[in-house]
Amino acid sequence: MVNATTKLGGTASDIVVAKVAHGLMSMSWVPKPVSDEQAFEAIKAGIDTLPAGVKMILNSAQFYGPGMSTHNLEIVSRFFEKYPEYAERTFLMVKGGHNPDKLGLDNSAANLRRSVDICLAALRGKKAIDCFQPARIDKAVTIEDTVRTLAALKDEGKFAHIGLSECAAATVRRAHAVHPIAVVEIEVSPTSYEEETKKVIATCAELDIAITGYSPLGHGLLTGNYNSTADIDPKDVRAHLSRFQEENLRHNLVIAEAIKSLAAKKGCTPAQLCIGWVASLGDKVIPLPGSARKERNLENLVGGDVILTEEEKAEMAHILATHPVKGGRYGDDDSNLWG
């Protein structure tokens, strides 16, 4: 049974959720999407760990499928078609704003409306969208206009709450001034803890907004499961990430080994240690690891109950200070990621 819980923010501040969320991307945005049977088992197992009244955050997107398709949302739809009683036990976050015509981001009012409708069509009424988020901040549209569009769609009953993703602290503040924001999704891990990350966390704490920290395991880098680039499928998205390139990976595996040693002393897995570390960054900071297998999801959820001592936090800080991560979160220069 999962013990650690928290509440969301904004218009969702009365909703109690597990301290660790479940990202669904790896079920479909991979070289070979998993079977419904495997996906359903993983989703259901996580929900089954929760006590009554606590919801599991499920994180999906308009484009988490081959060819930027709605494949992932279709898995979600089929899950709730089979298990309708689980709909009220989950909080479904959906990222959108993808324009299929432009093959890219478009947060114009017309495209956000189309994006939401595409997502709703894929879900087929089997599960409501609890929180809709533009996947990135479109610099061609002011954040104020973006949030006004989202507020109008929310008022029409398209979804219940507004979220943001990959946004700077100043953007969060401007958005929240237009309409309360329930959740902000940013990358947070021991190797992705930039100055702007810290500012976003502090701003959200001030405004009582929850944070879902995606990739708390550094896209798998910190799990201890990789020894070289030979362990990465060439079709896997990680094969293109800066930190997984040969020279960078050799450097970064030293960090992974140090975290593995610390986890062994702690009596938990490296994944659980990293998830516990992210969870320790704030009462409403919710680690968002992805998993496509039941056993991995259950392992991740236990990470929310891992409490690091001050000495262990200091040791983690020492590891990262003496051996800083090499490479950016995606490319070599991530300065344009913060919207």
Instruction: List, by residue number, the catalytic residues.
Output: 64
Q: What does the DSSP assignment read for 180-239?
A: ---EEEEE-BTTB--HHHHHHHHHHHHHT-EEEEE-TTTTTGGGT--SSGGGS-TTSGGG
Handedness of CA 150, 152, 156, 157 (dihedral sign): positive
Count other C-beta atoms under 10 Å from residue 324's C-beta. 11
Alpha-carbon span 175 to 141, nearest angstrom: 12
**Residue at token pair 């039941």:** 294
Whole-number Cα distances in Å, 194 to 191, 198, 300, 328: 8, 6, 23, 11
Q: Token pair of 146, please? A: 């973006």
Whole-number Cα distances in Å, 235 to 28, 157, 246, 247, 328: 13, 39, 16, 19, 20
Alpha-carbon span 319 to 307, nearest angstrom: 18
**Which residues make Cβ contacts (< 8 Å) with residue 35, sequence separation at least 6?**
none
Whole-number Cα distances in Å, 210 to 8, 155, 181, 307, 339: 5, 21, 9, 19, 18
